[in-house]
Amino acid sequence: MYPPIKRFFDFLFALLALVILSPLLIPIMLLLKLTGEHEIFYFQKRVGYKNREFNIWKFATMMKDSPNIGTGEITLRNDPRVTPMGRFLRKTKINELPQVINVLIGDMSIVGPRPLMKKSFDHYTTEVQQSIYNTRPGITGIGSVIFRDEEKIISESKDMQATYKAIFQYKGMVEMWYQKHISFFTDIMILFLTAWCVLFSGSMLVYRVFPSLPKRAF
C-alpha cells in the first residue's frame, strides 16, 4: 500500500519545496547565467521507472559536452570539467534541487534509487536491472547516503575503472536491499541521513540505523 501513498506525498512535498526554496533557487539561477558556461540547467537522459528513460533536471555544474570528454561518466573529486560555481553546488548537493520538477511531473520520487545514465546502468547485473526501478528513482536514496564520497574514492584509486565497477557491484546490492525494505520509515530515515551526512560527511550512522545493510568493503 505504501507506493501509491508515496506518490501523493512526493507531489505535495515537491510543490512545497519549490515554493520554500525559491528564494535560494532564483539567485543561483542568476549566478549561473552570469558565470561559467552561462547555462542554468543541465538536462540528461537517465534510466527511470520501469527502465524507461527520461530527462533529469540539474543545475549546470560542468563544461558543455562533459560526458564526451575527459573521464566521461566518471566524475573525479577535483574534476577540471567542473566550473567554480559548480564545485560549490555539487559539494552541497544544491545542484540536485531542480529535480523537484521531475518529482512534480512523476518521473522521480523524493527517495529512491539514483537514476543512472544508460551506460552506467549497464554495469548492473541482469537481476539488479530488472528490479532496481520497480519504484521511481529518487533525488536522494540509500546509495546517495552511502556514496557521498564516491568521487573521492575513485579519484584516489590506482585503477579508476576497476574501482568504478566494484562500486557498482556494491551499489546493486544496496539498491536491492532498498527494494526489499521500502517503507515510510525507511524513506524518512534516509531523508534524515541525507541531511546528517551533509553536516557529518564521514559518518557511518547509516549502518547503525539500518544494521541489515550490506557492509561496504572499501
The pairing of strands 109-111 and 138-140 is parallel
In angstroms, the CA 65 to CA 105 distance is: 26
Task: Report yes or no: 63 and 83 within 8 Å, Cβ to Cβ.
Answer: yes
161: amino acid identity, one letter: Q
Cα–Cα distances in angstroms (integers) from residue 176 to residues 153, 166, 169, 211, in the given order = 22, 16, 11, 15
Output 180 or 169, whichever has higher pLDDT.
Answer: 180
More confident residue, 160 or 50: 50
Task: Tell me the pLDDT of the chain averaged across its residues.
Answer: 86
Do the Cβ atoms of 86 and 60 come closer than 8 Å? yes
Rounded to an integer, the average pLDDT of 23-30 is: 94
Looking at residue 74, its pLDDT comes to 61
Closest to 111 (Cα-Cα) out of 204, 212, 13, 210: 13
List pLDDT tens digits, range 138-150: 999 998 898 876 7
What mean pLDDT is predicted for residues 102-130? 92
Q: What is the mean pLDDT of residues 21-31?
A: 93
Q: Residue 65: its pLDDT value, please? A: 61
The pLDDT assigned to 70 comes to: 54
Kindly report, residue by residue over 38-64, the tens digit of the pLDDT.
889 989 999 999 999 999 999 988 876
pLDDT at residue 199 greater than cutoff 80: yes
> Residue 120: which of 82, 182, 169 has the closest Cα?
169
The x, y and z cell numbers of residue 32, run together, are 549561473
Q: What is the reported pLDDT for 2?
A: 65
Cα Dmax for the chain: 47
Is the pLDDT confidence value at 163 over 70?
yes
- Which of residues 172 and 37 earns the better pLDDT score? 172
Percent of the chain past pLDDT 90, that is, above it, reads: 51
Domain boundaries, the chain: 2-209
What is the average pLDDT across 106-126?
Answer: 92
- Cell numbers standing for residue 98: 531542480
Contact (CB, 8 A) for 60 and 40? yes
Cα–Cα distance between 16 and 29 in angstroms, integer? Answer: 19
